[in-house]
Chain A
Amino acid sequence: MKFLCIPCDVKMEVQVEGIMPEEKTNLVMQFKCKKCGHSIAMLTNKFETEFVSKLGVEMGGATSVSKAPMAAVGSSLAQAKEELQKTNPEDNLIWTEEALERIKKVPFFVRGMARKTVINFATEKGVTTIDAKLMDEVREKVGM
């Protein structure tokens, strides 16, 4: 699926900032025209989201999330072993337990993007600890 900015006649690019799924079954993705800056959001229902998840890929490009072994099983199994539920905190930020729990609930195929969005926001703000409050701020900022 591709999105075209009609006035500019150029392809719209997926935005890292702009994805914050409310729950496991719905998805919001933002696309932006590089030329004019116009943004749109793609909203999918749970059936469409489920279909995408079958591919085993990540929206916005592959990250360490999907490259980890058993990524989909580990993140989707309701009661998986702890070793399977790593959240790849390769950054230097501190994630509170609550923040980690919330990021774990994001489907694996968009989790990498969601993480990037949160990390970018924290870096911009100059904070070193990511907590639930900060994640609420991210959600508010990206308008989803």
Chain B
Amino acid sequence: MKTYEDLEGDGGSDIIGQVTELGKTLRSRLDKIKHKVALMSGKGGVGKSSITANIASCLADQGLKVGILDADLNGPSIGHLLGVGNDIKLEMKDDGMEPGVGHQGIRIMTMDMLVKTADTPVMWTEEADATAVWVSTMESTAIRELLADTNWGELDYLLIDMPPGSDRIDNIRSLIPELAGAVEITIPSPLSQHIVTKSITKNNKMKVPIIGLIENMATYVCPHCDKEGKLFDGEDVHKLSERRDIPYIGKIPFDTRVSRSQSGNLFYKEFKDSVTGQAIAEAVDNIQKFTTK
């Protein structure tokens, strides 16, 4: 009786051929992007998406072509921050979907663009007995499609706004083996620092280069007098970076204008000379030094 190896092909589905084809599509997309950087935090609510958007703003301000993949499928906020609403008309072409184009020409792809209405949650079935396996399966598939089926075009930087936690990095790492690295973001609170260490440990184990640690909401800056004050009690984040042997690449003060500037632009674009704006620029400078070394 014949064995598996004796039988050519796979019975008509050509699964290997199809997987190879999917890989080629992804590769052709990624080859046009110079640097891919993931932005992560252990804990939610530390301002990761806001930092991502403003890092993109700073890069775009230098004349670079920038895109953001919103990998936070269930809590997407990049569309909102970049001014791309849910009412955007999707432009489907044979070779991919056109990205949303936000402030400063930053290209984005986010689940918010794909669901029916702005308040529609991302659900992979409306049946009550949806299994965790199914949801997890679809989330991995969705990340691949958002990355591979978006017409990103030529980019200098693709920033990947990761969901809180560290579970999705496995997915990103396998899709983008040449990932330049991950930026870890924490606030000074002991809880946030505790959780971000898990993300750092995981990245070390998975050999994902860590570009550095950003301390967000490090202080509070008065928008009227630029005076700084302390927001959180906790161990100095410099100590965490020393303990884990990763560079401390940015100390970004909290500024109330960061969530919504008056002109509708991103905070950095409008307030680049503020204390917080300059801190963002310093973090970006460190990221660029790492990715271009």
Contacts of A6 in B (CB 8 A): 1
Q: Give A57 to B138 CA distance when docked, in angstroms.
A: 13
Q: Are B12 and A71 in contact (CB under 8 A)?
A: no
B7 touches A4 (CB 8 A): yes
Are A47 and B131 in contact (CB-based, < 8 A)? yes
Residue A80 contacts which of B2, B7, B17, B115 (CB distance < 8 angstroms)?
B115
Closest to A49 in B: B134
Known: A76-B124, A78-B125, A84-B90. A70 touches B149 (CB 8 A): yes
Complex Cα spacing A135 to B259, Å: 52
Q: Which residue of chain A is the closest to B134 with respect to CB atoms?
A: A50
- Smallest distance from the beta carbon of A25 to chain B beta carbons, Å? 8
Q: Are A62 and B21 in contact (CB under 8 A)?
A: yes
CB interface residues, B 119-156, toward A, < 8 Å? 120, 122-127, 131, 133-134, 137-138, 140-142, 144-146, 149
B14 & A61 in contact (Cβ 8 Å cutoff): yes
Alpha-carbon distance A70/B156, docked complex (angstroms): 24
- Check: A11 CB closer than 8 A to any chain B CB: yes
B residues less than 8 Å from A71 (CB atoms)? 145
Write out the residue numbers on chain B whose beta carbons fall within 8 Å of the beta carbon of A72.
Answer: 138, 141-142, 145
The answer, yes or no, to whether B257 is at the interface (CB within 8 Å) is: no
Q: Tell me which of A47, A53, A77 contacts B114 (CB under 8 A).
A: A77
A11 touches B19 (CB 8 A): no
**Bound complex: CA A46 to CA B129 (Å):** 11
Given contacts A9-B2, A80-B115, A81-B114, contact A14 B124 (CB under 8 A): no
Is B44 positioned at the interface, with any CB of A under 8 Å from its CB?
Answer: no
Interface residues of A in 34-89 (CB under 8 A from B): 46-47, 50-51, 53-62, 66, 68-74, 76-81, 83-84, 86
Does A62 lie within 8 Å of B18, measured CB to CB?
Answer: yes
A58 surroundings in chain B (CB, below 8 A): 13, 18
Whether B22 is near chain A, meaning CB under 8 Å from some CB there, is yes
A14-B12 in contact given A72-B138, A78-B124, A83-B92 (Cβ < 8 Å): yes
Question: In the complex the two chains form, what is the Cα distance from A3 to B13 in whole Å?
Answer: 12
A78 touches B90 (CB 8 A): no
**A positions within 8 Å CB-CB of B:** 1-4, 6, 9-14, 24-25, 31, 46-47, 50-51, 53-62, 66, 68-74, 76-81, 83-84, 86
List B residues at the A interface (Cβ < 8 Å).
1-2, 4, 7-15, 17-19, 21-22, 89-90, 92-93, 95-97, 114-117, 120, 122-127, 131, 133-134, 137-138, 140-142, 144-146, 149
Pairs across A and B, CB under 8 Å, 16 listed: A1-B10, A14-B12, A14-B13, A51-B137, A61-B14, A62-B17, A69-B96, A70-B145, A71-B145, A72-B142, A72-B145, A76-B124, A76-B141, A83-B90, A84-B90, A84-B92
